[in-house]
C-alpha cells in the first residue's frame, strides 16, 4: 500500500478528510452507542430484527416475542414507509407508533423505526428509541439536522447511490448538531445487477472500520431482496467486521404488506443467530489490534 502512495503524500502522513467528527483519526477509539442496556460497537454484534412494517398489534407482538426469544437485541418496524409507488402500503403512522409503544412495554425490547420528515419528530420521540434515516433520505439535510437535535441514537442508512464519503458527510450533519450516537448501516447500492434488489457492498464495512469510529451495521434484507441470501450475507457481514445486523423477520411473510419476499421465517432467524454466535468471536477477538487509518482517497486509489 505504502509503495503505491503518490509522492505528494509521504509515508505516515494523514490525508485531510472533510468529515472531521466522524473520522477515526480524530477520535482514536471506536465509539459505542448505547440503547437501553444494549451496546452497539462492543464485543458482540447487536441484532435488530422485526418486520418491514408494523401491520397490526397481533402481527407486531407475535414477531417481537419470536425475535426476542431467539436473541434479538432491538425490535424494528416501520410505521412511515418510503414506498416507490404512492399506491403501495404507506405504513400505519401514529397508530403504528402506539403499537410500537405497546411492543416495548410488553416485551421490553427497545424500538427502531424510520423517520421520514421533520413533521414526524415530536410523535416519534415518545415511542421510538432509535431513529432510522432511510436510504432515500440520506441527503435530506434538514432531516439530518433534526435527528441531530433529537439526541436519540440514529441508524443512518447508506443511500443506494451515495459514495462512502457522502455517507460520512451525512453522518457529520448529525454529529455536528451534538448527537454522537450515530450508527452507519450498509444496505446495498444500486448496480447493473437485476437478480438482487441491490448489491451489498461489504468492502464498505471493512473500509469504514479504517475511516470512522462510528459503529457499522449491515442490513442484508434490503441489500438482497431475497430471503435465501440473507443468512449467507449476514454471516459475511459479521466476518467483515460489522458491529450490528438489521434483519427483516415475519411470522407469515406470504401475507406481509411489504417486503415479504426478503423476510426471514423465525426458524431461519434462529439459524442466523446460531451462525453469527459462532463466527463473531473468531473475528472480533482480532479487533483489538486495530487497523491503521488508511486515509483512502480517490487520488490514492487511482495512483
Ligand atoms: C427499511 O429498513 O424499512 C427501509 C425502507 O430500508 P432502506 O431505507 O434501506 O430502503
Ligand atoms: Mn423493508
CA of 165 to the centre of ligand 2 (A): 25
Q: 108-156 pLDDT, tens per residue?
A: 999 999 999 999 999 999 999 999 999 999 999 999 999 999 999 999 9
Whether residue 97 contacts residue 126, with contact meaning beta carbons closer than 8 Å, is answered with yes
Whole-angstrom distance, CA of residue 142 vs CA of residue 2: 40
Q: Which residue minimizes the CA distance to atom 6 of ligand 1? A: 134
For the chain, the average pLDDT equals 92
Q: What is the pLDDT of residue 131?
A: 98
For a substitution probing ligand 1, which of 185, 219, 262 has the most ligand atoms within 8 Å of its CB? 219
- Ligand 1 site residues (CB inside 6 A) read 52, 78, 82, 114, 134-135, 157, 187, 219, 222
Whether residue 231 contacts residue 271, with contact meaning beta carbons closer than 8 Å, is answered with yes
- Tell me phi and psi for residue 287, to 5 degrees: -65, -25
Starting from the CA of residue 184, give the closest ligand.
1
**3-state DSSP assignment of residue 222:** helix
pLDDT above 60: residue 292: no
Tell me the residues surrounding ligand 2 (ion) with CB < 5 Å.
Answer: 52, 259
Cα pseudo-dihedral 63, 198, 45, 175, rounded to 10: -110
Neighbours of 14 (CB within 10 A): 12
Q: 58-75 pLDDT, tens per residue?
A: 999 999 999 999 999 999
pTM given for the model: 0.92
Burial class (CB in 10 A: 0-12, 13-18, 19+), 84: exposed
Q: Which residue minimizes the CA distance to atom 3 of ligand 1? A: 52
Amino acid at each position: 500500500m505504502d509503495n503505491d502512495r503518490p509522492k505528494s503524500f509521504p509515508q505516515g502522513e494523514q490525508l485531510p478528510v472533510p468529515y472531521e467528527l466522524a473520522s477515526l483519526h480524530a477520535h482514536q477509539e471506536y465509539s459505542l452507542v448505547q440503547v437501553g442496556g444494549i451496546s452497539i460497537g462492543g464485543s458482540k454484534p447487536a441484532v435488530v430484527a422485526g418486520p418491514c412494517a408494523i401491520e397490526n398489534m397481533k402481527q407486531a407482538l407475535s414477531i417481537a416475542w419470536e425475535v426476542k426469544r431467539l436473541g434479538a437485541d432491538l425490535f424494528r418496524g416501520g410505521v412511515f414507509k418510503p414506498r416507490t409507488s404512492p399506491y403501495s402500503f404507506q405504513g400505519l403512522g401514529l397508530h403504528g407508533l402506539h403499537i410500537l409503544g405497546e411492543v416495548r412495554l410488553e416485551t421490553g425490547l427497545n424500538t427502531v423505526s424510520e423517520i421520514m420528515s421533520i413533521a414526524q419528530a415530536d410523535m416519534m420521540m415518545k415511542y421510538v428509541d432509535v431513529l432510522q434515516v432511510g436510504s432515500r433520505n440520506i441527503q435530506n439535510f434538514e432531516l439530518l439536522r433534526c435527528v441531530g437535535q433529537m439526541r436519540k441514537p440514529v441508524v443512518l442508512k447508506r443511500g443506494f447511490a451515495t459514495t462512502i464519503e457522502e455517507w460520512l458527510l451525512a453522518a457529520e450533519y448529525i454529529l455536528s448538531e451534538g448527537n454522537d450516537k450515530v450508527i452507519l448501516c450498509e444496505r446495498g447500492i444500486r448496480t447493473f445487477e437485476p437478480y438482487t434488489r441491490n448489491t451489498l457492498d461489504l468492502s464498505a464495512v471493512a473500509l469504514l472500520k479504517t475511516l470512522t469510529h462510528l459503529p457499522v451495521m449491515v442490513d442484508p434484507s434490503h441489500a438482497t431482496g431475497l430471503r435465501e441470501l440473507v443468512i449467507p450475507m449476514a454471516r459475511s457481514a459479521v466476518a467483515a467486521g460489522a458491529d450490528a445486523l438489521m434483519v427483516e423477520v415475519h411470522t407469515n411473510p406470504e401475507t406481509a404488506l411489504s417486503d415479504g419476499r426478503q423476510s426471514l421465517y423465525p426458524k431461519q432467524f434462529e439459524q442466523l443467530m446460531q451462525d453469527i454466535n459462532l463466527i463473531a468471536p473468531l473475528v472480533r477477538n482480532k479487533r483489538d489490534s486495530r487497523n491503521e487509518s488508511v486515509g483512502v482517497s480517490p487520488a490514492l486509489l487511482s495512483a
